[in-house]
Amino acid sequence: MITPRIMKKFKKILPVMMAAVLSVSGLPMIARADSSKVVTLGANLSEDQKNSMYEYFGTSADQVETIEVTNADERKYMEGIASEAQIGTRTYSCSYVEPTESGGIQVKVANLTYVTSAMISSTLLTSGVENCNVVAASPIEVSGTGALTGIMMAYEAASGETLDEGQKEAATQELVTTGELADAIGQEQATGLMNDVKEEVIEENLQDEGEIQDAVQDAASNYNITLTEDQMAKIVSLMQTISQYDYDVKALKNTLDNLSGKDKGFFSNLWSSIKGIFTGDDTSDGGIINQTKDDLFGDSAIIDSTLDAVHDAAEKDEGGFWSKIVNFFKDLFGGDDADDETDKDEIVDDADAADDTDTDNMGDTDTSDDSTPDSSLDDSSDSATSDGSQDNDGSADTDESQLPDNAGTGADDSTSEDSSAE
One-letter amino acid identity for 128? Answer: G
Give residue 139's Cα distance to chain centre: 22
Position 62 scores a pLDDT of 95
Regarding pTM above 0.85, the answer is no
Residue 308: pLDDT band (50, 70, 90) is confident
Cα–Cα distance measured from residue 120 to residue 249, given in angstroms and rounded to the nearest whole number: 18
3 state SS of 135: strand
Q: Could you tell me how many residues make up the chain?
A: 422
Query: Which residue, among 90, 149, 91, has the nearest Cα to 123 in the 3D structure?
Result: 149
Judge whether 236 and 216 are in contact, CB under 8 Å: yes
Q: Is the dihedral of CA 198, 201, 204, 210 positive or negative?
A: positive
Q: What is the mean pLDDT of residues 183-188?
A: 94
Tell me: the pLDDT tens digits for 33-73? 456 999 999 999 999 999 999 999 999 999 999 999 999 99
Question: Three-state SS for 98?
Answer: strand
Higher pLDDT, 124 or 411: 124
| Number of CB atoms found within 10 A of residue 237's CB | 14
User: Which segments of 23-102 are extended strands (E)?
Assistant: 38-42, 65-69, 94-99
Helix (H, G, I), strand (E, B) or coil at 291: helix
CA–CA separation, 325 vs 193, rounded Å?
A: 36
Does residue 404 carry a pLDDT above 50?
no
Confidence (pLDDT) at 17? 52
Question: β-pairing, 303-305 with 105-112?
Answer: antiparallel
* Phi (first) and psi of residue 376, to 5 degrees: -85, -10
CA angle at 256 for the pair 250 and 262, rounded to the nearest 5°: 100
Burial (CB count within 10 angstroms: exposed 0-12, middle 13-18, buried 19+), residue 347? middle
Angle in degrees, CA 385, 391, 392, rounded to 5: 140
Average pLDDT of the chain is: 75
Q: Is the pLDDT of residue 150 over 60?
A: yes
Residues 119 and 205: their CA atoms lie apart, in Å, by: 22
- The predicted-structure confidence for 106-147, as pLDDT tens digits, reads as follows 999 999 998 999 999 999 999 999 999 999 999 999 999 889
- Concatenating the DSSP letter of every residue in 361-410 gives TT--B--TTTT---TT---------PPPPP--PPPP--BGGGSPTTTTT-
- Distance (Å, rounded) from C-alpha 419 to C-alpha 416? 6
Instruction: Residue 40: name the closest of 91, 107, 77 by CA.
Output: 91
CB atoms within 10 A of CB 196: 19
